[in-house]
Amino acid sequence: MSDSSVSSLAAFLARHSRLFVLTGAGMSTDSGIPDYRDEQGAWKRSPPMTHQTFMHSDAARRRYWARSLVGFQALSEARPGRAHRALAALERAGRIERLVTQNVDGLHQRAGSRRVIDLHGQADVVRCMGCGATRMRHALHAELARLNPHWTTLEAQVGPDGDADLEHRNFGDFSLLSCARCGDGIFKPDVVFFGDSVPRPRVEAAFEALERADAMLVVGSSLMVYSGYRFARRAAELGKPMACINVGRTRADALFSLKVEASAGETLDAALRALNDAMPTEGLVAQAPTASL
């Protein structure tokens, strides 16, 4: 990351006081949560579970929940990084119209952001696909651990969104739970799987915020999936200036007026400090230490 990149990003932030911010997995890598894609936008590992596979395959559900029982603790214990805190500081200063995240880790809220649309939901809630009842995921995991005690002692490399790499395991003996309310409903994390549709109210709220915004900032997303890319495309149609912080190519590279290929945390932290120096009366000075903790 060059000084000129930081200066250019700080100038972009100074010019635009109603930012529409879209974030992806690159936001949370500093918090220990792996991302899905490499610098060329290709999958780093096998593609994530699809909605269709999860709903129609008992074996796939056993595999999913077994891996989740091992890997989800790392996601639930993750803490916001510098990038999350920097965006929260910008919001407190009144410079963010809306923050739309593709992540399901809840780290923006833990950092203090309030103007958040969780485009793909939050991973700490599960929903019965039969009757719609919801419950907290940690409670479901506690019951799964009671039914499958030997799985809780396994160690594995953590994957994105609370997954774990458990290869060459027999998942057939992993016991699942059915919904106590309706008797046989399938429990699924209340998140948008690949093949799911993002709930329309979230999409409409995001587009409305984009209309009100004066610029768009993309942080840590390759925009390879349409659920995020459509906002960049719409911003271009509206003539909104766009900047991006992301390591590697994105689907919208041709649309950005500024792109910084560097760590989201390091870049936003440095840009916020520069913005503090340039605009000491804008209320960001007091927030600079928070952004760099």
Question: Which positions are catalytic?
Answer: 120
**What distance in Å separates the CA atoms of residue 240 and residue 20, rounded to the nearest whole number?**
10
**What distance in Å separates the CA atoms of residue 62 and residue 83, rounded to the nearest whole number?**
35
Binding site for Zn(2+): residue ranges?
128, 131, 179, 182
Residue 65, helix vs strand vs coil: helix
**What distance in Å separates the CA atoms of residue 98 and residue 110, rounded to the nearest whole number?**
16
Positive or negative: CA dihedral 192, 196, 202, 206: positive
Binding site for NAD(+): residue ranges?
102-105, 220-222, 246-248, 264
Which residue in 234, 214, 24 sits closest to 119, CA to CA?
24
Instruction: Quickly count helices (H) and strands (E) in the chain.
Output: 10, 9
Pure H helices in the chain: 3-15, 51-56, 58-76, 82-92, 107-111, 137-147, 200-212, 226-237, 264-278, 288-291
